[in-house]
Amino acid sequence: MVIFLDKDAPDEKIQEIIDKIRELGFSVQKSEGQNQTVIGVGGIKPEYDLKPISLIEGVSKVLGISEPYVFAGREFKQTDTVVQIGDVKIGGEEVVIFAGPCAVESEEQIFNIAGQIAKAGAKILRGGAYKPRTSPYSFQGLGEQGLKLIRQAADQNNLLVITEILESSQIDLIGKYTDIFQVGARNMHNYPLLKELGKIDKPVMLKRGWSATIDELLMSAEYILAGGNMRVILCERGIRTFEPSTRNTFDVSAIPVVHQKSHLPIIADPSHATGFRDKVIPVSRAAIAAGADGLMIEVHHNPQKALSDGPQALLPDQLMQMMTEIRAIAKAIGRTI
């Protein structure tokens, strides 16, 4: 349910309305519209009688909504959400580049790569310290040592850190080191984790599960938003289809679909989507042209020796080349990189 308040409703009135609805047991979030304050209310069943709420003083309109999510939807918030961390803004005019290795492997590796991606113009350093791997015998990450290294490498190059979290018990530890929590495709349906991430004060990047619909992605985002954490960034990373020539099928239409249905920013991960280095650049260009708010690119200075996902990592030089190409495309559609 979405509640539109009188244009001149004073702050204490708004708070009073929010308190009343919370007492009824629902999640509530406020969204500042252009002329009007809007209040989203999560968890209201269709059969619920909206009349008592519409009668509260200061309420101008009550809107039952058609989607199963409230806070993730455009009906609740019509302006695009911009997630700001320091002076990096995701979802604004600038397209933001996240880059780095699949996994933090060593001090030499992460510092080398961090330096290169900073030079290329990336703003956020990616790298896993806890890796969810299909086989229990694959490299599972360096753990806290990896977190320390990525933090140091980022700080030295004036970058932000994004790293993956696998379960809610890791929130405090990983939170000490990261600027953004990454929830991977395998955990898009890990609701206990999403609920806990809804209670914290750090941005979360939520990847689409490889066989999740866009509505399911928004419903998973809703778990975080309903808890009060409104800084959610979505990520399209390819879906599972029958086509074998790429690892997954990058669903480029998901970008305009998300922008229509939701106010949340969405970035693209062409590295995981395609699985092959030589497809990363054309698909990155396509994502930017379709309106993506950022790119997450795997980069490795020595991909043949990478402990995971080497074949899809760009070389630093290729990242440079890619930056040139996507900068021109961003400009063509009125954005910057």
Residues in region 277-316 near a copy of itself by CB under 8 A: 278-279, 282-283, 285-291
Minimum distance between the CB of residue 59 and a copy of itself, rounded to whole angstroms? 21
- Site for a copy of itself contains 173 (CB under 8 A): no
Binding mask 44-83 for a copy of itself (x = CB under 8 A): xx----------------------xx--------------
Instruction: Tell me which of 124, 232, 239, 337 binds a copy of itself, using CB under 8 A.
Output: 239
Amino acid sitting at position 123: K
Would you tell me the crossing angle of helices 277-290 and 316-332 to the nearest 10 degrees?
20
Minimum distance between the CB of residue 287 and a copy of itself, rounded to whole angstroms? 7
Region 111-150 residues binding a copy of itself, contact defined as CB under 8 A = 132-137
- Site for a copy of itself contains 211 (CB under 8 A): yes
Q: Between residues 36 and 168, which has the closer beta carbon with respect to a copy of itself?
A: 168
Minimum distance between the CB of residue 270 and a copy of itself, rounded to whole angstroms? 9
Cα-Cα end-to-end distance for the chain: 37
Q: Between residues 112 and 168, which has the closer beta carbon with respect to a copy of itself?
A: 168
Burial of 33: CB neighbours in 10 Å, binned 0-12, 13-18, 19+: middle
Contact 127/100 with Cβ under 8 angstroms?
yes
- Site for a copy of itself contains 216 (CB under 8 A): yes
Would you tell me the crossing angle of helices 214-226 and 254-261 to the nearest 10 degrees?
40
Minimum distance between the CB of residue 40 and a copy of itself, rounded to whole angstroms? 12
The residue written with tokens 């990155």 in the block is 284
Largest CA distance in the chain: 66
Name the phi and psi angles at 182, rounded to 5.
-100, 125
Instruction: Tell me which of 166, 235, 319, 322 binds a copy of itself, using CB under 8 A.
Output: 166
**On the CB side of 310, how many CA atoms lie within 13 Å of its CA?**
9
Classified as helix, coil or strand, 198 is coil
Distance of CA 86 to the CA centre of its chain: 16
| Interface region with a copy of itself, contact rule CB under 8 A, candidates 4-12, 41-49, 94-102, 110-118 | 41-49
Instruction: Tell me which of 257, 266, 296, 297 binds a copy of itself, using CB under 8 A.
Output: 257
Number of residues that bind a copy of itself (CB under 8 A): 74
Minimum distance between the CB of residue 319 and a copy of itself, rounded to whole angstroms? 17
Distance CA 150, CA 102 (A): 12
Among 135, 124, 131, 136, smallest CA distance to 105 is for 131
Instruction: Tell me which of 204, 252, 267, 296 binds a copy of itself, using CB under 8 A.
Output: 252
Distance CA 240, CA 177 (A): 32
| Interface region with a copy of itself, contact rule CB under 8 A, candidates 115-123, 142-150, 156-164, 220-228 | 220-228
| Interface region with a copy of itself, contact rule CB under 8 A, candidates 77-85, 115-123, 298-306, 328-336 | 328-336
Instruction: Tell me which of 163, 229, 271, 274 binds a copy of itself, using CB under 8 A.
Output: 274
User: Who contacts 174 (Cβ-Cβ below 8 Å, separation ≥6)?
Assistant: 129, 130, 147, 163, 165, 181
- Site for a copy of itself contains 93 (CB under 8 A): no
Minimum distance between the CB of residue 159 and a copy of itself, rounded to whole angstroms? 26
Q: Which helix (H) or strand (E) holds 126?
A: strand 124-126
